[in-house]
Chains A and B, each alone.
Chain A
Amino acid sequence: MLDNLLFLSAPITVSVLLAGILSYFGNHILSRGIIFIDIAVAQIAALGTMIGLLLGSAEESLNVQLISYLFTVIIIALFSLTKSRKQVIPQEAIIGIIYCIGLGLAMLLAERIPGGSNFITKTITGNLLWVTWDKVLYCFIMFLIIGIIHLIFWKHFMVISDTKNGLAYSLWKTRAYELIFYITFSIVIVKAVPVGGVFLVFTLLIAPTAAATLFTQNWKKRFIWSWIIGILGSILGMYISYTLNISNAPTIVTLLGVTVILLVFGKLASQKLRTINVKK
């Protein structure tokens, strides 16, 4: 039992870290209504990693990471460029196209890399179980720095994410904050995807805040609830995956996702009941 606990302690720590930072970002993403930006960014980051591998660098070497970051920053820049113009094609469609091209290219490259289709599966499922303590520490420091940046600007970020009331600042000030927000966001995504996989990252972003948003609109409460849900979900998912002997990242995703969908239905049902009661 103690051995198992020791073996699982690094994966559990890293998934708690991921849940912490991603649930925070998820609140912003959900408020902005650009749900799929992260899955597109994640795919692009994975593509960058594959290109790095193809160029002959070792997985997780500095070169590969640099290429991955470079790709992600370019895409973020592209995305913010298309944002300012008058929309003929909706933003979501652009995100979709970026995702599609990213995955398509990744599949083309997969043919050229030995064990390529294996790599695509790995990008989907991640590599949570084999994470080392070095990596955990690295993630922790990285997330700490980004967390401090966000702590400094947290009010501004909340203002620009709430776009319902129009722009609160001048255009250039907004853009500057947007840039800081997106760059920190993409760094987190690039860091998180090789560890957790595209779908775990996506789910940790969206599912906890979606569940929290169902019940409260207050930013602070949403942060706190999404942290609780995200962290509990990861720990529980890890435990279930261990006892049932299935891959762990997919288990966490399925657990959190199904929970949210059940909660949404519960909310709908309770509203229905309330309206029936009112009518009576």
Chain B
Amino acid sequence: MAASFDFMFASFIACLILIVIMVYFGIHVIEREIIFIDIALAQIAALGSAVSLVLDNLNIGHQHHAQEHDSRTFIAYLFCLLAAGIFTLLKNKKLKIPLEAIIGIAYAVATTSAVIILDKGAGGDVHIHDMLAGTILWVSWHQVLRLFLVVLVIGGFHYFFREKFKAVTLAYKGQDTNITNPGTWDFIFYFTFGIVIVEAVSVGGILTIFAFLIIPSSISALFATRWTMRILVGLLVGGIATILGLYLSWVMDVPCSPTIILFLAACLLLSVLFKGILKYSNLLRRKNNN
């Protein structure tokens, strides 16, 4: 038991770090109503690493392992930068198609071209599966530290300029904000988001990150309106779901990422029910008072 606990501790810490930053970004994403931007960015980054994987395969033996990893992350970042640029440019009222449609198309193209590329290598199926589900169970302390540093730097940056980012997000909803050059801040938002996504996906897999991003902040939207409060609520729910998910996946011998996702979904369902009961009892009380 103690050994298993020790073994899972790193993945638990990694999940907590991921949830902290993802809840924050999740609120932004939900307020902007560009839910699928993250899954698209993640997929584009994954396409970047698939490309570099193939490039590495082409000249096997010329590179050391560490170098290979660096080049892969570098290409993934490059793809993210490109995507951030595209999304910023195409946020334009004059185009009659919603940004969502473009995000969707980018997602579809990135996924299927990754499939085409990985098809050329051996064990493509396994790569695709890993890309989606991630390998959070096998995370090393080294990776956790690296993740922590990235989250710290980007989180700090966002904390420092929080008013700017908030203003850009509110401007998406059509509110008047007197922010100068929103395009630049938009670009910075997408790019920093992209960096976090690259790091997070390499630890948790696309689907887990998507769940961390959307579900906790949806739950918090039910109960709180202030951003700090929302982050805390999301963190609490996410933490509980992670502990339960990791434990159950260990006991029942099922993959842990989908289990965590299902627990998060269960939490969402429970909180929707809870909210409904709360509303109903309030209604009853008001009726009784009258």
Measured between beta carbons, the chain B residues less than 8 angstroms from A179 are none
Give the interface centre of A125, A251, A253 by most chain B CB atoms within 10 Å: A253
Q: How many inter-chain residue pairs (CB < 8 Å) link A and B?
A: 168
B237 interfacial contact with A, CB 8 Å: no
Q: In the bound complex, do residue B125 and residue A118 qualify as a contact, i.e. CB atoms below 8 Å apart?
A: yes
B60 proximal to A (CB < 8 A): no
Say if the beta carbon of B254 comes within 8 Å of chain A.
yes
Among candidates A89, A100, A124, residue contacting B210 with C-beta atoms closer than 8 Å: A100
A48 contacts B by Cβ under 8 Å? no
Q: Is the interface of A mostly helix, strand, loop or mixed?
A: helix
Task: Return chain A residues, CB-CB under 8 Å to B98.
Answer: 30, 33, 35
CA distance A33 to B104 in the complex (A): 12
Given contacts A30-B97, A108-B259, A214-B95, contact A257 B106 (CB under 8 A): yes
For A95, the chain B residues whose CB sits under 8 A away are 35
**Of the 9-residue stretches B15-23, B69-77, B159-167, B211-219, which lies at the interface with chain A?**
B211-219
If A104-B207, A210-B101 touch, whether A124 touches B214 (CB-CB below 8 Å) is no
Residue from A100, A210, A268 whose CB has the most chain B CB atoms within 10 Å: A100
Contact A121 to B128, CB < 8 A, known contacts A104-B261, A206-B104, A214-B95: yes
Q: Check if B108 sits within 8 Å of A246, measured CB to CB.
A: no
Of the candidates B33, B105, B128, B210, the one having the most CB atoms from chain A within 10 angstroms of its own CB is B105
B155 at the interface (CB under 8 A from A): no
Nearest Cβ on chain B to A96's Cβ, whole angstroms: 4
C-alpha spacing A105/B257, complex, angstroms: 10
- Proximity string of chain B (78-121) to chain A, C-beta cutoff 8 Å, 1 when within and 0 when not: 00000000100110101111101111111011011101100100
A260 to chain B: closest residue by CB: B105
Whether A206 lies near B33 (C-beta < 8 A) is no
A217 to B95, CA, bound (A): 11
Residue B258, interface by CB 8 Å: yes
Contacting B at CB under 8 A, from A244-261, are 246-247, 249-251, 253-254, 257-258, 260-261
In the complex, are the beta carbons of B104 and A253 less than 8 A apart? no
Are B35 and A100 neighbours in the complex by a CB distance under 8 Å? no
Instruction: List the 10 closest pairs (A to B, CB-CB), nearest first.
Output: A250-B112, A257-B109, A104-B261, A117-B129, A104-B258, A92-B35, A253-B112, A96-B35, A35-B100, A108-B258
Interface pairs (5), CB distance under 8 Å: A95-B35, A100-B210, A107-B255, A120-B128, A267-B95
Binding site for A on B (CB under 8 A): 30, 33-36, 39, 86, 89-90, 92, 94-98, 100-106, 108-109, 111-113, 115-116, 119, 124-126, 128-129, 132-133, 207, 210-211, 214-215, 218, 221-222, 254-255, 257-259, 261-262, 265, 268
